[in-house]
């Protein structure tokens, strides 16, 4: 089965305690696509500028990613620069240049109309809503958002969340969206807005999935997946989007969608996020093998079982 991601393709400048790099391929749709490509067929809707060349295109092609939905526009590709100092869970933005992404209005190729899984990466909520309504035949929709939209466009975001099945955000965003400091109460408030499930990413501490009563089966107890201790985190930039790619990619590869499938997807999301941070940009995601992924999945499983 196929998964479609709608989001950003970018060039990043990143500085961390491990060094600095410039003009590396990044963006939410890029990280998501590469991570998901190890599980299922991936399609992308995004916009790039004239500086997006054959080398960048080849990164997608080498992983069998369908790029017919990537629009080429006059101007420069979206660019972002960030620095990580003491807190590797949070980047200080050095600059943001939206460029062609500023006027991005997703156009879904007709060839994508049979897509069964949709992921709305971090873009303006009204655009997310338009895409979701266009793709009204999808089996499951995942969604991401950020503080900027939670604060600036709460009504539009609420409309989007009524149309999605699973929301993937972090602790801070969950509390902000719910207006609640207690994470359990915040999760329940978010679920009441519309999503059937909420995945809260805790950075280096793993992720938790909360279910709305009756959604994806019986019961409503949350489930927590740990994070794998990483010896050296070089670049956390794409961890969350890689997590989403592993999570949604695994779901798209499965015939049944129930709570056990979603729990397992949580582990695969953590696996892909853990690989992404080991190198700058998408370097590690480009060179992975499915054998490496499954081996690390086994390590994650061992963390949650006592012999």
In angstroms, rounded to a whole number, what is the distance separating the alpha carbons of residues 190 and 156?
15
What is the pLDDT, as a whole number, of residue 218?
A: 63
What is the pLDDT, as a whole number, of residue 159?
A: 96
Low-confidence ranges of the chain (pLDDT < 70): 217-220, 306-307
- Nearest CA-CA partner of 258 in 168, 142, 140: 140
What is the pLDDT, as a whole number, of residue 215?
A: 83
pLDDT in tens, 126-155: 999 999 999 999 999 999 999 999 999 999
Handedness of CA 178, 89, 102, 121 (dihedral sign): negative
What is the pLDDT, as a whole number, of residue 216?
A: 80
In angstroms, rounded to a whole number, what is the distance separating the alpha carbons of residues 269 and 266?
5
For the domain made up of 2-83+92-297, the CATH class stated in words is alpha beta
What is the pLDDT, as a whole number, of residue 87?
A: 75
pLDDT in tens, 193-231: 999 999 999 987 889 999 998 788 666 689 998 888 787
In angstroms, rounded to a whole number, what is the distance separating the alpha carbons of residues 10 and 110?
25
Domain boundaries, the chain: 2-83+92-297
Model pTM score: 0.95
What is the pLDDT, as a whole number, of residue 128?
A: 97
What is the pLDDT, as a whole number, of residue 219?
A: 62
CA separation (Å) from 183 to 21, 186, 198? 36, 5, 12
Residues 112/65, Cβ–Cβ less than 8 Å:
no
What is the pLDDT, as a whole number, of residue 220?
A: 65
pLDDT in tens, 110-128: 999 999 999 999 999 999 9
């Amino acid at each position: 089965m196929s998964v479609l991601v709608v989001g950003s393709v970018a060039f990043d400048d990143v500085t961390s305690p491990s060094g600095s790099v410039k003009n590396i391929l990044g963006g939410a749709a890029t990280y998501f696509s590469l991570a998901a490509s190890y599980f299922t067929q991936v399609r992308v809707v995004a916009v790039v500028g004239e500086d997006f060349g054959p080398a960048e295109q080849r990164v997608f092609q080498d992983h069998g990613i369908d790029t017919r939905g990537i629009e080429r526009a006059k101007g420069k590709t979206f660019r972002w620069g960030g620095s990580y100092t003491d807190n590797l869970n949070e980047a200080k933005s050095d600059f943001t240049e939206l460029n062609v992404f500023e006027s991005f209005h997703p156009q879904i190729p007709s060839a994508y109309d049979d897509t069964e899984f949709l992921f709305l990466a971090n873009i303006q909520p009204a655009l997310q809503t338009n895409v979701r309504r266009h793709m009204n035949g999808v089996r499951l929709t995942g969604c991401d958002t950020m503080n900027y939209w939670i604060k600036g466009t709460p009504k539009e975001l609420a409309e989007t969340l009524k149309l999605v099945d699973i929301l993937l955000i972090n602790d801070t965003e969950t509390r902000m969206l719910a207006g609640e400091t207690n994470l359990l109460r915040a999760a329940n408030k978010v679920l009441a807005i519309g999503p059937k499930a909420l995945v809260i990413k805790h950075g280096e501490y793993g992720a938790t999935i909360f279910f709305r009563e009756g959604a994806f089966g019986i019961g409503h107890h949350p489930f927590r997946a740990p994070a794998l201790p990483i010896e050296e985190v070089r670049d956390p930039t794409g961890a969350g989007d890689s997590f989403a790619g592993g999570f949604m990619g695994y779901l798209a590869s499965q015939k049944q969608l129930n709570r056990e499938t979603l729990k397992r997807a949580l582990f695969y999301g953590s696996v892909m996020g853990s690989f992404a941070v080991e190198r700058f940009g998408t370097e590690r995601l480009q060179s992975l093998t499915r054998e490496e992924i499954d081996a690390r999945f086994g390590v994650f499983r061992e963390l949650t079982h006592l012999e």
